[in-house]
């Protein structure tokens, strides 16, 4: 029986972070887990920072993850992964897409985008394990830059850290993506898995 499992998805609005949280939460309900998903919607489609907390297990009540208690962090963008730092701790497995999306103040020259190495270095100081790769390039190979989220999902599944079987996740993913994009999403999911297996 799962007592407490905390997954955090940190993304830029429009990257499909909310789809990911829905897929994982629905899959968890399918196998009978108690679920709490905490997110603040409203700006999600507009390129702001979006954090979703997906929590599963008997002892879970709060929609927010206690600081430092994340089991898995899916960082869809480097600095967004870093923005979730206070929730990350020694037990965290973090998986980070290294492809940056520059916020407007950075393009304006008002703020600086930190080097990716620095982002990973800082995250590694807090997180038990950090895995990073360019999921955007992999999504391109799958046929669309819009399926970065499915690549990330495949990678997490390949790490075998989720308390949900692979088949349930994949099936739920395909139920939740727009009609007609199932093939591309499945390909992206599998390329994400391969990425972890080959490393």
Partner 1 sequence: MSNNSSILGEAGKKTLMMGNEAIARGAIEAGIKVATAYPGTPSTEIVETLAEVAKNLGIHVEWAVNEKVALEIALGAAFSGVRALVAMKAPGLNVAMDALMSATYSGVNGGLVIVVADDPGPHTTQTEQDNRFMSKITLLPMLEPSDPQEAKDIVKEAFKISEKLQLPVIVRTTTRVNHTSADVILGEIEVVKKEPWFYKEPMRYIRASMAWNLTRHKWLNQQMEKAKEIMENLPFNKLEMKGDEKVGVIVSGVPYNYLKEVIKKYVVKKVAVLKISAINPLPEKLIKKLLSKVDKVLVLEELEPYLEFHVKSLISEIGRNIEVLGKFNGITPREGEFSPEVVRSALEKLLNIKLGKRFRDMREKVLEEIKSILPRRAPPMCPGCPHRATYIALKKAIKRLGLKLEEVSVFGDIGCYALSLQPPLEAIWTEHCMGASIGMAAGLYFAGSRQKAVATIGDSTFFHMGIQPLIDAVQHNANITVIVLDNGTIAMTGHQPHPGSGEIATGEKVKPILIEDIAKAIGVKFVKVVDPYDLKETTDVLVEALKFEGVSVVVARRLCAILAVRRKLTGPPCYVDPDTCTGCRTCILQLGCPSLVWEGEKTVIDTDTCTGCGVCIQVCPYNAIKMEKEE
Positions that interact with partner 1 (CB under 8 A): 12-14, 22, 25-26, 29, 33-43, 45-49, 59-68, 79-80, 82-83, 85-86, 102-114, 118, 122, 125-126, 145-146
Paired residues of 23 in beta bridges: none
**What's CA 198's distance to the chain center, in Å?**
20
- Shortest distance, position 89 Cβ to partner 1, whole Å: 8
> Environment class of residue 161 by beta-carbon count within 10 Å: exposed (0-12), middle (13-18) or buried (19+)?
middle
Supply the minimum distance, in Å, between the C-beta of residue 63 and partner 1: 4
Say which residues have a Cβ less than 8 Å from residue 134's Cβ, sequence separation at least 6: 97, 98, 99
Cα–Cα distance between 135 and 144 in angstroms, integer? Answer: 11
Closest approach of partner 1 to the CB of residue 57, in Å: 11
Strands, E, within 21-157: which ranges? 35-39, 49-56, 72-75, 93-97, 129-133
Q: Which is nearer to partner 1, 110 or 160 (CB)?
A: 110
* Of residues 20 and 158, the one with the C-beta less far from partner 1: 20
Helix (H) or strand (E) holding 10: strand 5-12
Nearer residue to partner 1 within complex by CB, 113 or 166: 113
Nearer to partner 1, 23 or 191 (CB): 23
Contact between 99 and 88 under an 8 Å Cβ cutoff? The reply is no
Find the shortest distance in angstroms from Cβ 25 to partner 1: 6
Neighbouring-strand partners of residue 51: 10
Residue 123's nearest CA partner among 160, 75, 167, 156 is: 75
DSSP secondary structure letter of residue 39: E
Q: Which is nearer to partner 1, 36 or 166 (CB)?
A: 36
Q: CB of 199: closest distance to partner 1 in angstroms?
A: 26
Least distance in angstroms from the C-beta of 131 to partner 1: 19
Nearer Cβ to partner 1, position 116 or 196?
116
């Amino acid at each position: 029986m799962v007592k407490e499992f905390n997954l955090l998805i940190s993304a830029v609005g429009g990257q499909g972070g909310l789809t990911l949280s829905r897929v994982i939460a629905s899959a968890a309900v399918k196998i009978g887990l108690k679920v709490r998903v905490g997110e603040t919607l409203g700006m999600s489609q507009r390129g702001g920072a979006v954090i979703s907390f997906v929590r599963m297990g008997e002892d879970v009540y709060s929609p927010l993850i206690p600081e430092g208690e994340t089991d898995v962090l899916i960082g869809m963008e480097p600095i967004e992964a870093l923005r979730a730092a206070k929730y990350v701790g020694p037990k965290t497995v973090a998986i980070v897409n290294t492809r940056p999306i520059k916020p407007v103040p950075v393009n304006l020259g008002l703020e600086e985008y930190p080097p990716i190495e620095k982002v990973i270095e800082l995250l590694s100081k807090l997180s038990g394990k950090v895995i990073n790769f360019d999921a955007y390039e992999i999504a391109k190979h799958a046929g669309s830059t819009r399926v970065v989220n499915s690549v990330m999902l495949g990678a997490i599944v390949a790490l075998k850290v989720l308390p949900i079987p692979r088949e349930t996740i994949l099936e739920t993913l395909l139920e939740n993506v727009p009609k007609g994009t199932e093939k591309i999403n499945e390909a992206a999911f599998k390329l994400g898995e391969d990425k972890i297996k080959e490393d």
